[in-house]
Homo-oligomer: A and B are copies of this chain.
């Protein structure tokens, strides 16, 4: 356990306020600033952080500074914080890293870069506002840390210790590699979803009945399309090259499937689908971005009250349900409740469900 820090948070939206709450829970003192006075006051009420009147007052004397503003302002604010807080390690929470690091390196006093570490806490950053904040936002999440060439080991180690102390999992990763990987598994899914929804909407103009035929699978694939356009514009433009490459790889894979289908080669289509199916089943059995949780599958009959039976059984055993999904096979249906519970509550959850004659299956 490392000792308490003096934490400064710049930008008290959902993620900034959640970081403040997690820090306070861990025993740190927290000051914060937000250009929107009302947002700052809500954050202070909600979390017990100390509001301040400007960046300088906020970060002066801090040992850790978190810049939690939109991507375009991260670099300049990080540089200002490095200059104003002489002892502090400064980090940001942007969804892209190379772009942010390049901006900080361009703007900051080079000597200050020893104390800068890029960061990406991978959870919940796309909800908005201090009212939705919770220290649980950081519980068990992967928190990527990306150093600049000038960052000193001591600064990274301090950030790592703090991230672990508040309950998240620090992962060191080169900024370019981070951006390449999230382009594939976070940014590309967003683009794929938006493109599919946009296409269906265009078709709908000429075929109003098309969405009548859109079942659960279409809804799954287009859920992300409801995300914030402004936020995603910032993210995509800040990770241009990696996203273009991810789209290229995706398009060539779609083209290969198109080719096999048009050429009427069932064995190839089936092999491509079988490989993806196997990978998806392996993913289901893997820990989510949130570590420390377990997924339990519970087959349920289709009758009134069965969901109440599952949830009350767990509630009475004081097992908190982190997530619950009634999982349909592709194209609709019902039958299996997917429960996500804390890993250390999973044995108890299985036991009490068995006692109620359910047949839970815990994924590894």
Contact = CB atoms under 8 A, between A and B. Distances in A.
A229 B185 CA distance: 23
Given A264-B237, A284-B226, A335-B132, A194 B314 contact: no
B209 A273 contact: no
B123 A331 contact: yes
Contacts of A236: 261, 269
A333 B230 contact: no
Contacts of A281: 226
Contact of A273 (B127, B232, B269): B232
Contacts of A329: 124, 126-127, 227
B230 A270 contact: yes
B201 A185 contact: no
Grouping DSSP codes into helix (H, G, I), strand (E, B) and loop, the A interface class, with mixed when no group exceeds half, is: helix
A219 B228 CA distance: 19
Contact of A212 (B171, B177, B203): B171
Given A283-B211, A312-B308, A320-B304, A194 B273 contact: yes
A264 to B, nearest CB: 6
Q: Count identical subunits in the complex.
A: 2
Contact of A276 (B198, B217, B286): B198
A157 interface: no
Interface residues of A, number: 130
A225 B186 contact: no
A197 B250 CA distance: 10
A308 B302 contact: no
A213 B240 contact: no
Contacts of A290: 332
A233 interface: yes
A27 interface: no
A86 interface: no
A83 interface: no
28 contacts: A122-B331, A122-B332, A123-B215, A124-B331, A126-B330, A142-B213, A181-B203, A185-B213, A186-B213, A186-B215, A189-B196, A191-B254, A191-B257, A193-B217, A193-B220, A198-B253, A198-B276, A220-B221, A221-B224, A222-B276, A223-B330, A227-B273, A230-B270, A240-B262, A290-B332, A304-B320, A322-B334, A323-B334
